[in-house]
Structure 1
Amino acid sequence: MQIERKEQLSLLMDGEFTNEHIIDEISHDESLQSYWHRYHIVRDTMRGHLHSSALTLDITNQIAQAIATEDLYNQLADQPDINATTPPKAENLIWIHVKDFFAKVSQVGLAACVTLGIIAGVQYHQGQTDNTSTSPTLNTVPIGVNVAPVGGIHQQNDQQLLEKRQYDKIRLLVQDYELQKRLNAH
């Protein structure tokens, strides 16, 4: 019976079948309407009249049916019964707070230990470099610039005096080089 209806639809599309009864059936039956639509797409494709905008995928009905049949509030088998549960004891709540407190204190203690280790390592490394090398590991002061100590305390020792003399010597050499370069350029 269904195959017969499809053949009648095909004949109706080709203009070879003019039964008004089939037109009434198409208007009331959604499956025949979908076949009618698909047959038109196939015919237009074969003739080369089909545009890409005509091929729209309409799945709204299927989604609406899937949502309607979906059980959104299914009960899980392993959920506890609300009436059977007992509130926690006060001593358990205190233990939870104590554990949280010790966790936070241990985090702060760990951060303090790491900071202390870094500071001690930097001071130890600076002490080692002062004894073995005359130039600092990380020199952030530009050549020829004198930096005053923090707090206005001015400490001059032999090492600082030697470094100042070296900086002055380098500054004078750079100035002499620039002057020679200007003189030779003309």
Structure 2
Amino acid sequence: MKEYSQDISTLIDNELHDDMVIKHILDDTESQKQFSRYQLIGDVMRDESEGLDLRIDITNSVMAAIVNETQDNKIVPVATPEKVESNVVPFMKRFGQYAIAASVAGVVVVSSLMINQNVATDPSVTPVLNTVPFGGAAAPVSLQAKPVQTKSDIKERNEHLEALLKDHQLQLQVQP
């Protein structure tokens, strides 16, 4: 019997002009089912399958294939590997783990010190995490009292600022 799959595909593309093949497709129910499946595939690919019930029940054919399948007696169970007993004492094993962790931490610290030592610091750039206050000394957090400034301290500071301003103005006048 001649295979008509290619002819059915050609017929769907409207390129088949052989009347004998068309007559065979119209007479053969298997060819009609195949033609129907090809049309359905084309509709789904062109997204023209609205309203079509595309649920296909293949459970009976799968169950029949399973029943007809023969058992292979050459199946060998996978052997589980034997547990290798360690000669290392648990205490020494843990000590080794700590030694490795300490070595890694030491390498990290030393390398960070080496990297920071080689970096040239620019005095014009202030560090991001400058934790020292402007006053020069860190005060405890619990200290809530404000520093006591007497009137004489304030007067002395103002006089110093005025002297600096006068000196600056004189320097501006002297410069050409």
The structure whose RCO (Cα within 8 Å, separation 6+) is larger is 2
Task: Indicate whether the TM-score tops 0.5.
Answer: no
TM-score by structure 1 length? 0.31
TM-score by structure 2 length? 0.32
Whose helix fraction is larger, Structure 1's or Structure 2's?
1
